[in-house]
Chain A
Amino acid sequence: NAGVTQTPKFQVLKTGQSMTLQCAQDMNHEYMSWYRQDPGMGLRLIHYSVGAGITDQGEVPNGYNVSRSTTEDFPLRLLSAAPSQTSVYFCASSAYRGPQIYEQYFGPGTRLTVT
């Protein structure tokens, strides 16, 4: 099993450009999420999904879009990149049952710089 994979590993964008960060998992997890981590900071939830066709906003959703057309994939779209979106982005997946999710498996991260 590859677990959670993310592409690209590194990306530099100019202000105003758009791009999609890819995330895929092969563990058949229903729950997937995107976090951003700024230097020396904790992780902040951007968006999450509890299954194909179902997404919801996290703590810091502005400037980002997501969709979940399959169980395996959960891409994150930056609509118009801003320097404030310079960060490391982590995708995670988890099994869940009822009101509780279980161990979150994180991908290796994408380091994004917006100039």
Chain B
Amino acid sequence: GQQVMQIPQYQHVQEGEDFTTYCNSSTTLSNIQWYKQRPGGHPVFLIQLVKSGEVKKQKRLTFQFGEAKKNSSLHITATQTTDVGTYFCAGPTSGTYKYIFGTGTRLKVLA
């Protein structure tokens, strides 16, 4: 079945450093969603990308959707302690409403 992998699994950065997480799907995705989950919390929606090659920015966060629509990335510039959490990507199984979540990248920011 469809698999969605994320790398790295963990990342520790010093506050102010940049951070990138990569999401790779075994199949082409019609769209991809990104979520952030704080420790002990629930996932919170960040963004949805639909178009091939799409790039969207939210303040210090930059999201990209690959040309082949099989991969995506989230880049955070100048991390802050408030960025701590696990970042998940999620995409639908082809032709269905079944959203498969990636394995997640846990970010720790050291002050």
Q: Which positions in A face B, CB cutoff 8 Å? A: 31, 33, 35, 41-45, 48, 50, 56, 58-59, 90, 92, 96, 99-109
Contact among A41, A48, A100, A106 with B98 in the assembled complex (CB-CB below 8 Å): A48
| Given A42-B88, A42-B102, A45-B98: A107 in contact with B42 (beta carbons within 8 A) | yes
Chain B: minimal CB distance from A58 (Å): 6
Which A residues are CB-close (under 8 A) to B48?
102-103
Which A residues are CB-close (under 8 A) to B50?
100
B residues contacting the other copy or chain, number (CB 8 A) = 24
Majority DSSP secondary structure for residues of A touching B: strand
Contact B45 A105 (CB under 8 A): yes
**Could you show 28 A-B contacts with beta carbons less than 8 Å apart?**
A33-B99, A35-B101, A41-B104, A42-B88, A42-B101, A42-B102, A42-B103, A42-B104, A43-B101, A44-B101, A48-B97, A56-B97, A59-B100, A90-B42, A96-B97, A99-B95, A100-B30, A100-B31, A103-B45, A103-B48, A104-B43, A104-B45, A104-B90, A104-B99, A105-B45, A106-B43, A107-B42, A108-B42
